Structure 1
Amino acid sequence: MLEIEAPVFILVEAKKADLKLGLGQCAAEMIAAQRFNQTQGQGIDTVYGCVSSGTQWRFLQLQETTLTIDLNDYALQPIARLLRDLVWMAQN
């Protein structure tokens, strides 16, 4: 059985085609992660999320009660840039 441990700080929501369809669900999951962290005594300032089709990525940030959605879609290639952004989120 898998057990989730706090703090949860990055979420990825995969959608088949339209990234916009996943934004609401990802945002809801980010709020749930924020609340989970708080109940576990691991409150952190920022929870990051992204919605991906596998080839396109869009990023979100939840800081306290403010949700920011990057309106740019990022391609999988070059993968080094995408990995750099994911590592940055994990380190911050």
Structure 2
Amino acid sequence: MKKQEQVADLMGRSGHRPQSGRKGVKMNENNIFGEWVASIERGECGFTFIRLFADAPSWVRNEAINRFGKGTVFLPPRQNRLLDSAAA
């Protein structure tokens, strides 16, 4: 499996988008889980290493734990997420 396919599979882009378990949190185009993830890799022994952007909301961390379980390791953030308007 190619690395891009592995990342897409880990992020749930295979047609299934799990909803956040928190009440009052609406997942819309601006709040998709994958947009807040800077990098993600599957490590040995079942660990998943995730680096979120520094400005990621708290529901993203909770969603990552719900998706990947106890073997989720959060790496320190290195940067803020660039918005499409700021990148242009």
TM-score past 0.5 threshold: no
The answer to which structure has the higher helix fraction is 2
Taking CA–CA contacts closer than 8 Å with sequence separation of 6 or more, which of the two structures ends up with the larger relative contact order?
A: 1
The answer to which structure has the higher strand fraction is 1
